[in-house]
Amino acid sequence: MGRVAIQREPTNRLCRSAAVRRGLWIVRVVPFIIVALAALATAAEHDAPPSQPLVDGKGLFASKGCTNCHRIWGEGEASVGPDLGRNASWHDVMQLAGTFWNHAPEMVAQMQARHIERPAFTPAEMGTLSAYLLYLNFINEPGDANRGRALFDEHSCARCHQFGGQGGTAGPRLDELKDVASSLFLAQALWNHGPEMAAKMTELKIDRRRFDGDDVADMVAYLRGDRLAPSLAEAAAQAGSPRAGQGLFQQKGCSKCHAIGGVGGTVGPDLAARPPTRHMAEMAGALWNHGPAMWAKMKEQGIAFPRLSDREMADLLAYIYFVQYVNSHGDAAKGATLFQEKSCAQCHGPTGNGTPPGASPVDKLPNGSSLITSAALQSPFSPFAWTAAVWNQAPVIAEKSHAAQIPWPRFADDEMRDVAAFLQSRAAAK
């Protein structure tokens, strides 16, 4: 990638110091970032759940050259960038967009140093890549066996189950499950046998304790014992199909109580509006935690209790995870504040309508155009199109920022989502 030649106006020493000149660059460049994103990201039809995210994404990850710098679950020879299969800093697509943006200057520099051509992504390709990276973390089981042992005792599991030759006989021997222990297995078992387990716990006066955070993953690590954690191929074989899960959500009656994006029942929460879970183990814990309340409501509504096969459970959880990570709704009020703090309003006006009349360009950068009329903010908004634009356009802005010696603006947590929400709210109000 060649450097972008930037023409500068002659400096009026009486009026413009170097500091002022840099300040004006910041005022113009940061809003230009938003212009570039808005211009290139196009709204699309509602993004459909993928069928095989780990299969399709693996091929794309390789064909785009990502393996030149990144490993996945320790597999591969690259060591330039971090392993993208575990311990990700993003939990949904819009946070992934922020991560791409934040690390763009370093990635551009590394690729140029290694003579690696930077790939471009269409919105559809970004949907495939996003699914791959997110599901890699979803199926990961970062368990701590020692903590799992403590949880086994705290939850009084030995009152009903034998493990290591000790314990009760009301439930199955857990020693025999060592080879199949996984978050998916526990999710299915805790759901299918949940009502019977609840009745037995009541009979034995055992307190029903919650599984939060990594509790289920820790329990899996303890039950697995000295057996090695599954490889990427083994874990991927258990991964479900979000597309198949979408059909199951209707067939199993889930939509009678739960909505997805406002469509469905209102007895339970809208599952698309909830923050994304990090791992499948967290969803297994949620099924246990909310089981009694869900069974009571199902009985009240005359809904038959649905038992799920291992494949059905995998598909259903994969679908619920999809609708959570694709959710792009942000806080418009926070976005309005960010729009000011990032100097966007200096060029685009307080509501994103465009450059105030009479404003002139600085250093040949374009005036701030109207953001609220851009295709990126038309309904329905596509987080994949937005993320593709972030990836594709970042090198151009990074080059200009570097030439101007200005700090690279960063989007933390949900800041990008919130700015987009603010702009969408203004577009809807125009």
Alpha helices in 260-382 (DSSP H): 280-301, 310-325, 332-341, 344-348
Low-confidence spans in the chain with pLDDT less than 50: 1-29, 31-46, 360-367
Question: Which has the closest alpha carbon to 90: 328, 413, 429, 318?
Answer: 413
Cα–Cα distance, 239 to 182 (Å, whole number): 12
Under DSSP, the state recorded for 82 is -
| CB contact at 8 A, 178 and 221 | no
pLDDT score of 358: 53
Q: What angle do CA 335, 336, 342 make, to 5 degrees?
A: 80
Cα–Cα distance, 346 to 359 (Å, whole number): 10
pLDDT score of 293: 95
pLDDT score of 428: 81
All residues at 6 or more sequence positions from 164 whose CB lies less than 8 Å from its CB, including other chains: 175
Pairing of β 162-163 and β 166-167: antiparallel
pLDDT score of 406: 67
Sequence spans of domains, the chain: 26-141+331-347+367-430, 145-229+279-314
pLDDT score of 31: 46
Q: How is 158-221 classified by DSSP, letter by letter?
A: GGT-EETTEE-SSS--GGGGTTT--HHHHHHHHHHTHHHHHHHHHHTT-------TTHHHHHHH
Identify the residue whose tokens are 């009979």. Answer: 203
Helix, strand or coil for residue 72? strand
